[in-house]
């Protein structure tokens, strides 16, 4: 966490500190609804997020419309311009690809830098309090036959007791601030993410190699096959685009559906 000319810079909006009401934030999070909910819950004055390759149903920027309804100025940078999950890189290299109406009204335009846009939002009114967010952690399969499979709209919702579970996450596959330790905070049996369009420096799949070092099979589903931020969408329609070496050795290959990949990994681990 840092500040640039009065703008709070975070690798993830899940790191938003208490007492940030009215602040303007640049965050490396995708611009979907769950990060937007966290921004609104923090009553921010404005936020710049990452467009995550836009993706299926434009889920990568769906949070901008969500925040517009709450009166909060919001924008997103292009996935081709800055690394997802890296707030400093978004602030340094990010080029704006989408703005909502409150941000446009304050002068934010496509193509300008994230920092320029964020500075325009200084003094904007705080977001209205959001309605409660729908369930964001839920069981996809019970552990009666094979490991439990949990759906997490954000990988930040992983728990210590997930060690024996497979986690299907709506989160992007990028490392927070480039730190390998941020790939997954628990030693789950396997994990799957959204590739966020892969993007500059292959940032959207960076967690995979980091999890190889811990022997955890991991994969991403394509941003245009599942809505980023929605674990249920990954489970129901996600198609695997990238896998790490650990997953490949267990038969979890690209091209499989999310459910097929989970089944293959679970079966190989139980052999």
> pLDDT, tens digit, for every residue of 204-216?
999 999 999 999 9
Residue 70 is predicted with a pLDDT of 97
Contact 6, 24 (CB under 8 A): yes
Final residue of a structural domain among 85, 120, 155: 120
For the cut 70, the answer to whether the pLDDT of residue 1 exceeds it is no
56 and 151 part of one domain: no
Same domain membership, residue 112 and residue 153: no
- Does residue 125 lie within any of the structural domains? no
Average pLDDT, rounded, for the chain? 96
The predicted structure's pLDDT at residue 119: 96
* pLDDT value for 202: 98
Considering the domain architecture, whether residues 143 and 74 belong to the same structural domain is answered as no
Q: In this structure, are 167 and 82 located in the same domain?
A: no
Report the alpha-carbon angle 37-91-220, nearest 5: 60
Three-state DSSP class for 221? strand
**φ and ψ at residue 210, rounded to 5 degrees:** -65, -35
Structural domain range at position 52: 2-120
pLDDT at 6 over 80: no
96 and 54 in a single domain? The answer is yes
Q: Which domain-ending residue is among 69, 95, 120? A: 120
Looking at the structure, do residues 97 and 163 belong to the same domain, yes or no? no
Reading the block at residue 260, the tokens are 């097929």
Rounded to an integer, what is the distance from CA 222 to the centroid of its chain?
Answer: 13
For residue range 253-265, list pLDDT tens digits in order. 999 999 999 999 9
Looking at 120, 154, 177, which one is the last position of a domain?
120
Query: What pLDDT is recorded for position 135?
Result: 77
pLDDT tens, 217-226? Answer: 999 999 999 9
- pLDDT confidence of residue 13: 97
**How many independent structural domains does the chain possess?**
2
| pLDDT tens track for 154-208 | 999 999 999 999 999 999 999 999 999 999 999 999 999 999 999 999 999 999 9
Three-state DSSP state, 149: strand
Query: What secondary structure, in 3-state letters, does 65-108 show?
Result: HHHHHCCCEEEEECCCCCCCCCHHHHHHHCEEEEECHHHHHCCC
Q: Average pLDDT in the 107-136 region?
A: 94
Does the residue 131 lie in any domain?
no
Q: Coil, strand or helix: which one is 44?
A: coil
What tens digit of pLDDT does each residue of 39-58 get? 999 999 999 999 999 999 99
């Amino acid at each position: 966490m840092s500040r640039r000319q009065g703008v709070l810079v975070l690798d993830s909006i899940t790191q938003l500190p208490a007492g940030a009401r009215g602040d303007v934030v640049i965050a490396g999070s995708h611009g979907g609804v769950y990060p937007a909910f966290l921004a609104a819950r923090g009553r921010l004055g404005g936020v710049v997020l990452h467009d995550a390759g836009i993706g299926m149903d434009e889920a990568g920027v769906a949070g901008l419309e969500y925040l517009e309804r709450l009166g909060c100025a919001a924008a997103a940078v292009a996935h081709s311009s800055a690394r997802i999950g890296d707030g400093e890189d978004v602030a340094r290299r990010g080029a704006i690809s989408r703005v909502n109406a409150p941000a446009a009204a304050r002068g934010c335009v496509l193509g300008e830098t994230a920092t320029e846009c964020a500075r325009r939002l200084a003094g904007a009114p705080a977001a209205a309090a959001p309605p409660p967010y729908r369930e964001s952690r839920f069981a996809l399969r019970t552990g009666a036959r094979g490991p439990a499979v949990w759906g997490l709209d954000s990988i930040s919702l992983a728990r210590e007791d997930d060690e024996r579970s497979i986690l299907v996450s709506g989160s992007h596959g990028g490392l927070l601030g480039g730190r390998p330790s941020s790939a997954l905070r628990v030693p789950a049996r396997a994990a799957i993410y959204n590739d966020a369009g892969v993007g500059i420096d292959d940032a959207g799949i960076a967690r995979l190699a980091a999890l190889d070092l811990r022997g955890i099979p991991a994969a991403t589903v394509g941003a245009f096959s599942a809505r980023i931020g929605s674990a249920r969408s990954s489970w129901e329609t996600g198609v695997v685009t990238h896998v790490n070496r650990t997953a490949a050795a267990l038969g979890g290959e690209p091209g499989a559906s999310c459910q097929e990949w989970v089944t293959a990994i679970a079966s190989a681990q139980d052999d």
